[in-house]
Amino acid sequence: LDSFSGQGISIYDAEGQLARKPYPAVRADIEEVIKRMRAWGVEAGMRIGILSTNWYEFILFDIALLELRCTSLAFPEEFGNKTSQQLIDDYGLNLLLLAKKDAWPATAAGQWTAYIDAENPAETRVRPVSTEAWDEEFIPTIAFSSGSSGKIKGMTINPHGVEDWIPKFYHLFEV
């Protein structure tokens, strides 16, 4: 990021105004998120769900999960009618991340959940689920899509698929 220190991303701030966030500030925010998650007991190989609108905080946590080598499950709005416990049990999550400012999910913070945009209790911790039974290969993301069938399904996105896809995609556009 040092070579891009004069560049950044555009985000909407707390007041809904478009703001510019330089990459070094984004990196510092990601480092802070990593510290928070490590304090909760997050470590490599864990499954962490994110049920949130695509806020700035969502992006920070998603990138931090990649760095921590966790599998992120980004649940779309269709999962907002499930309880936190249903999502945790059904998908073997160690932790479910929620946005307090989201109004649509029926879920609420509780055991094995944490807010990405608000303070959490000091006792916030991950669920102690063994990761030994899961594949040994790092799976960074399980994405959900209805695709052409109209029925939501989870798709594993692994490094090999991404490595194969990026060069093909890259050549489609002038970069």
pLDDT of residue 77: 85
The DSSP-derived string for 110-175 is: -TTEEESSS---TT--------TTS-SS---EEEEE-TTTTS-EEEEE-HHHHHHHHHHHHTTS--
How many angstroms separate the CA atoms of 167 and 105, rounded? 37
> Using an 8 Å Cβ cutoff, are 125 and 41 in contact?
yes
pLDDT digits (tens, 9 = 90+) for 65-103: 999 999 999 998 888 888 889 999 999 999 999 999 888
| Cα–Cα distance list, 164 to 160, 161, 175 (Å) | 6, 5, 18
pLDDT of residue 14: 77
pLDDT of residue 149: 75
| Cα–Cα distance list, 139 to 45, 46, 93, 127, 165 (Å) | 8, 10, 14, 19, 16
- Global pTM? 0.81
Give the residues across from 156 on adjacent strands: 142
pLDDT of residue 172: 74
| Cα–Cα distance list, 119 to 19, 36, 69, 122 (Å) | 23, 10, 24, 9
CA 27 to chain centre: 16
**Segments of the chain scoring below 70 in pLDDT:** 1-5, 130-137, 158-163, 165, 170, 174-175
pLDDT of residue 95: 97
pLDDT of residue 33: 98
How many angstroms separate the CA atoms of 151 and 101, rounded? 28
| Cα–Cα distance list, 136 to 16, 46, 65, 102, 131 (Å) | 42, 11, 17, 34, 9
pLDDT digits (tens, 9 = 90+) for 133-144: 455 667 777 778
